[in-house]
Every structure is written in C-alpha cells, then in structure tokens.
Structure 1
Amino acid sequence: MCTAVIEVPEDSSASVRLLAVRDEHPARAWDVPGAWWPELPDVVGVRDRVAGGAWLAANKATGTIALLLNRAEPTSVALPQGPNQVASRGMLVLDEVIGRGVGESPRTANFNLVSISGQRASVTSFDGQTIRRIELEPGVHMIAHHDVDDAVRTPRIAMWLPEFRALAGLPERLWRERWVEQLAKSAQLSADDDRAIIRDNRVHGYDTLSLLYCLVESAGNASSASRASSVNDVNDANDTTRGTNSGSSLQIDTAVFARPGHWQTPAFESLRT
C-alpha cells in the first residue's frame, strides 16, 4: 500500500509539502508526471495507462494537488456489478484537481484521497459505505491504508512519523534533501518489514512493491527566490535532477526505483510549471 507524508505549514505564507511513495504491481503500465489528459490541459500527473486515471495529479492553473491511496478495511463490501460496475479510483484524482470533488456515493473500491490547495490539506476517506472528510491541522502527518496518523494499525507510521515530525519547518533550501535522507534511512529495513516505507507487500497479501516516489510542492505565496534556492540545493546534492530552474509555482520531483521495492540513490525527473 502507498504511503504519504504531508506537512501543513504553521506559516500561512509557506507551502504544503508532500512526499508520496507509490506501491503498485510492477507490470501495471504507468507514465511519469506529464500532461497526459488532452481534455484537461491544465492537469499534469502520474498516469495509470490501464484505466486512464491518475495516482497523483496537479492543476497548473490553481495549484491544487491530489493523491490516491488504496484503503484496506477488515470487512469486504460488495462492489457494483454490470453496467454500474466499479469505477477506477484514479478518476477521483482528476475530478479533485479540476474542482469536481468526490460525491457522497462513489462507485469505487475503498480509498484515501489527499487534497492540497493553497496552505490547506485534507483527506477524504471511503470504506465502501461511508465518506469521511478531515482537514489536516498544521504540522506533519502520515497516511497509508488506514487513517491519518494511525500508529496503532500502521507500523510504518508508528516508527517514522516521529522522525518526519522532527523535520518540520525546514527552510526551502533543505526540506527535500532532508526528507529524502529520512526515506533512505527507512529503507535500511527489509522491504517486507511492515515498518518499511519502501516496500514489498507480497508477504502481507498484496501483489505490489514500491515503484517510485514524488516530492511535491505548490508554491502558494512562497517566494520564487526561495524556491529557486531549494531547487539548486537539491540539484547540487544529487547531481541527477533534470529540468530548468524557472522559479515555478508547482514542482514535482520523481524518482523511479530501478528494482521495485529496493532503495537506490535518487535520480530525479523534475516537472516545473
């Protein structure tokens, strides 16, 4: 199951920060962040080629960001069949970033949907029967396949949320580098350890492994100069980030694992608008 770390700033002039790790079947086709939806010219994201939706997407015009995490539940809920069969959860991500939102009775399997707009972040959860929406308070939060900050049911949150919270409020020039260092530290665990963030979920009953991760920030009111400094520092630290430094309002840095479920020194592809 996927993992996300979200920092909602105390300072209303700062930006929400997002680290998203994608767990998926390695054979399921997908595309790195790009403008894959001609009917939605302002939308960029990680596309699921199979169903046409997105795992993560952003609206260049509004700065809205959305991320989809599958949700586990202890009981199975019957899904729609026939002409009203279950819809792809990836379409919820696209709906969210264009302002359509999630209806009260989605025809999908269970999910957690992270939505970021300006200096605010929220999570919409669906357990197959009930929709719940919560606004995230300022601070660092973590979510996977249960609830936000659910350290009781999610061992990786119990272990790593305090570590990420210790990194709260880092300056623009440092946060990406420090968060990646923390992610690398977590990868010292075996990928099949339930405390791991970089994962091999097969031993836990899911045929998925960690394929990639993204660092995302939509600038809000943050200064272009600060963002430019941050980008340059990450480039200098890794010497692998590609793209031009445009002082953009939206930045998505993506690193793909050459071997699913195995950590490697990050080689970032950057999308900036």
Structure 2
Amino acid sequence: MCTVVVRVPASPHEPVRLLAVRDEDPHRPWNPLGAWWPDRPGVVGVQDRLAGGAWLAAKPGRLAVLLNRAGDPDLPADAIESRGGIVLDSVEGAAPTGRPRTLGFNLVEVDGTTVTATGWDGHDLRRVTLGPGTHMLAHDDVDDPTTARIRMWLGAFTEAPTDVPGDAWWEPWREVLAATARLSPSDDRAIVRDNRAHGYPTLSLLACVASVRPGEADVRYAELESPGHWNPLRFA
C-alpha cells in the first residue's frame, strides 16, 4: 500500500519530480538506496534482501517504482514469481508485457520526461501514459478518487510548487507529507501508514524523492526513525 506522487512537466525541458513512500513489513530486510546489482552497471535502488529485487531503482534518465495492488493470477502458488525483478527490468528498458506471473502491482516508469503507469490485477495488464500535471497512485488506479489518501491530498500536492530555488526542490512536498502525518497512521486517508488495522503487516518505512530528465536521475533517500510514525525526513 505504498504511495507515489509524480509531477509530469508540460515542457520537455523541465524534469519529472517524484515522491515515493514505501510500506512494507518492517521485519522484511532491505538495503537502502545504493548500487546493489553488479550485473547492472549504473543502476541504483532500494533492494529487497530476501528476493534480491528492488522496490525503486534508477539509472541516468530512467526510474521505476513498484506498488502492490490486489490481484492473484490463475497460477499455483509455487509458480508465482517475485515482483522485485519487474523494477530492475523496467529501469533497463523492459516494461512488463503479456500476463506477468506475479501478484498484482502498479508500476510507475519514468523515461526522460515521459511517465507511464502499468497496472496488473492478476487478469488484465493496463498501461497509461500520464499527461502533464500532478498525479497520485496507491493500491488502485492513477488519481483514483475512491482511494481515500488520493481524494484527501492530491489537491495539496498539486498546489505545492516543485520549482523552488536551490537544490531541495522537494521541501514543499515534504511539508505536505508532514501535514498528512497529523492523521492517525491507521486512518485510511494517511500516507505515513500503519496498515495492520486494515489486515496487512505493513507500515511506512522510508521515502525517496527523485528528479529525472533525459540522461539524468537524481534520487534521494530517507528512513523513518520508527515505522509508521512521522519524523522530519532528511533526504540524502
């Protein structure tokens, strides 16, 4: 039940801006943003240690990040594959096609200043290109008003500028994220979340911000000091 906010520029001369908040079982080990895949030179990402894949990965000019969504393919349990490889393949230019042998997912892909979102519900694979503007994605469709956190916060992220002077372009979005954390982490409108009240063992653990343009990808990482509880994130 991760959350992604992405701003697609109207001009190809401006960068894509992205904020991604990761929800995961805090007992599932991960490695922070780094170059964990020696067979994929130039790729950095947040690695899932158990499966070896990535939640988010980037290389110059490209980025991909995966969010879980409901959906079981018509396969035996031992034939279902990890979703982590999808991100690594995507950032190398291989988008998912056909009928993935994984549980459901949403995949956000940035290629230069083009942003696409691919949704897999176990039955249908749907891919859309996002138009200029600010978009949000969680466990259902892009900008879905039936998703409580999107309905509550998309307007605030849209109004917050990301062309502020200096390097910390993400500060206005971080302020919005801080405002969302005034809600209880179990509130369905929350972005910094404790999903155990909803039957999932996942809590918000970390966030990344990224600025992407052709040939460049600047990704920053920060962890929450306590899973599911807000502290001012220091992206580095």
- Smaller-chain TM-score bracket: over 0.9
Contact 2:21 2:207 in 1 (8 A): yes
- Structure 1 residue aligned with 2:75: 79
- 1:36-81 per-residue CA deviation (whole Å, 9 max, x = no partner) reads 0011012110000000100000123xx11000000125xx544344
Counterpart selection for 1:70 from 59, 68, 71: 68
- 1:147-190 per-residue CA deviation (whole Å, 9 max, x = no partner) reads 000012x1000000011111256345363110101100110101
SS at 1:250 equivalent: strand
- Structure 2 residue aligned with 1:258: 225
Distance 2:87 2:165 in 1: 27
- Spell out the pairing of 1:61-140 with structure 2 (5 A cutoff): 63-73=61-71, 76-82=72-78, 85-140=79-134
- Structure 2 residue aligned with 1:195: 189
Distance 1:115 1:250 in 2: 12
SS at 2:87 equivalent: helix
Distance 2:141 2:14 in 1: 25
Matched residue type, 1:79: L
Identity %: 51
Contact 1:140 1:168 in 2 (8 A): no
Matched residue type, 1:32: P
- Higher relative contact order at CA 8 Å, sep ≥6: structure 1 or structure 2? 2
Contact 2:55 2:66 in 1 (8 A): yes
Distance 1:57 1:172 in 2: 26
For the pair 1:180 / 2:183, whether they are aligned, the reply is no
Contact 1:13 1:220 in 2 (8 A): no
Distance 1:27 1:104 in 2: 33
- 1:214-265 per-residue CA deviation (whole Å, 9 max, x = no partner) reads 10112338xxxxxxxxxxxxxxxxxxxxxxxxxxx32111110110000002
Report the TM-score, using the length of structure 2 for normalisation. 0.95
Distance 1:260 1:251 in 2: 25
Distance 1:208 1:119 in 2: 31
Specify every segment of 5 or more residues in structure 1 that has no aligned partner in the other structure, as ranges. 222-248
Distance 2:128 2:161 in 1: 21
For the pair 1:2 / 2:13, whether they are aligned, the reply is no
Contact 2:35 2:44 in 1 (8 A): yes
Larger radius of gyration: 1
SS at 1:105 equivalent: coil
Distance 1:192 1:130 in 2: 30
Distance 1:172 1:90 in 2: 35
SS at 2:156 equivalent: helix
Contact 2:73 2:101 in 1 (8 A): no
- Structure 2 residue aligned with 1:163: 156
Distance 2:56 2:113 in 1: 18
Contact 2:63 2:110 in 1 (8 A): yes
For the pair 1:267 / 2:208, whether they are aligned, the reply is no
Distance 2:57 2:233 in 1: 21
For the pair 1:214 / 2:208, whether they are aligned, the reply is yes
Distance 1:136 1:78 in 2: 29
Specify every segment of 5 or more residues in structure 2 that has no aligned partner in the other structure, as ranges. none
SS at 1:175 equivalent: coil
Report the TM-score, using the length of structure 1 for normalisation. 0.82
